Amino acid sequence: MPNPEEVVFPSRRERFEDRRKEGQHRKLLDEFFDHATLLAVSRLVSRGLFDAVDYPISTGKEGGVFRATKGEEFRAVKIYRISNTSFRHLPPYTMEALRREASARNFGGLIYAWTRREHTLLGRLKAAGVAVPEPYGHYRNVLVMEFIGNADGAAPRLRDAHVEDPGRLYEDLVAAIGAMVRKAKLVHGDLSPYNTLFFEGRPILIDVAQAVEVDHPQARELLTRDIHNYAKFLARLGADVDAAEFLRAVGIESVGPPTEVTG
């Protein structure tokens, strides 16, 4: 098995060293790559999912996404922090499935279940034709998936992207969310321009672990909230989008009865 730290930050990776000074290197290592996570990364490298981690794409309280190299290709490596703080602010409906797999007191187990769930749902959505990153594998708190971007860098979030054709964006969102609802039988529950990537003129949906089945008691309200988030964004771009029509277009009739969203 390769040396874990050398896998995460190879000494000969000039691109990473060009981007980060040694102090920042050590800070990231301490924040994300504890011993257990380093071993998980090494296990995934040994399985051939990627060769080495290059540099961080985005980091936050719950975890971080890093670009990795696999031969001549790039991949995205998502690492969840092993911490109880990751779950303090999640609404109750996101915890239901996890509690069937791990105790609420077992934070590591919850994180592992969350990672496994995101991998499973990405695969389910991809099979339904939804524009999401393809999942390649996972282990413990580390998920490996398709890198959305090119050699110049990762795709921007939709909120930060330049959208030339809002009408086409609307049509693409209807197609993606419609496939999610009608084919995958899922409602994302936390969609917005903040967790949608924009690459080569098309939206890519991400962060799917909190998705619920369409027959979940809160699914309709969650879908309505998702659609209103996009409708407001599209209106700011100058598109004439009616939220009610947007909901009909994605298949609101396929979703369970409305209830109040809590949490």
Q: Which residues are catalytic?
A: 190, 207
Tokens at residue 32, please?
């994300």
- Cβ neighbours of residue 47 closer than 8 Å, sequence gap 6 or more: 137, 139
Spell 216-248 as b/e; 16+ CB within 10 A means b: bebbbbbbbbbbebbbebbeeeebebebeebbe
Q: What is the phi-psi region of residue 146: left when phi exceeds 0, alpha when psi lies from -120 to 50, beta otherwise? A: beta
CA distance 30 to 187: 35
Phi-psi region of 261 (alpha: psi -120 to 50; beta: other; left: phi over 0): beta
Q: Residue 92 corresponds to which tokens in the numbers above?
A: 């109750």
| Segment holding 79, helix H or strand E | strand 73-80
**What ranges in the chain are assigned the alpha helix state H?**
4-8, 14-19, 22-32, 35-46, 92-99, 107-127, 166-182, 219-236, 243-250
